[in-house]
Amino acid sequence: MKTERKFAIAALAVSVALSTAPAVAADGKEKCYGIAKAGQNDCADANGVHSCAGQAKADKSATEWKYVAKGTCEKERGKTTPPAKSAK
């Protein structure tokens, strides 16, 4: 299989996984946007800038998230909904 095709398939798989991922984790946790420190995010940026954990460039970016115990996000001054996607 050609390298370009492998990358296209991987990108599609990541896109589908991100678009169908629930906002609340099954183990009593929820995504909390805007609280992750640089390099300590749990997964992909909400705008698709990157697709991996640990790649946040700045502290408390509105598009980066971490899992927190359900019900604690607002206490940490975060948001449980992702920000509107920005145009690239």
Query: Which pLDDT tens digit goes with each residue over 26-81?
Result: 689 999 999 999 999 998 888 888 888 888 999 999 999 999 999 999 999 999 99
Look at 8 and 45; give whichever has higher pLDDT: 45
The whole-number pLDDT of residue 30 equals 95
Q: From the CB of residue 2, how many other CB atoms can be counted at a distance below 10 Å?
A: 7
Cα–Cα distances (Å) from 32 to 1, 5, 11, 23, 67, in that order, read: 38, 34, 24, 9, 6
pLDDT of residue 25 exceeding 60, the answer is no
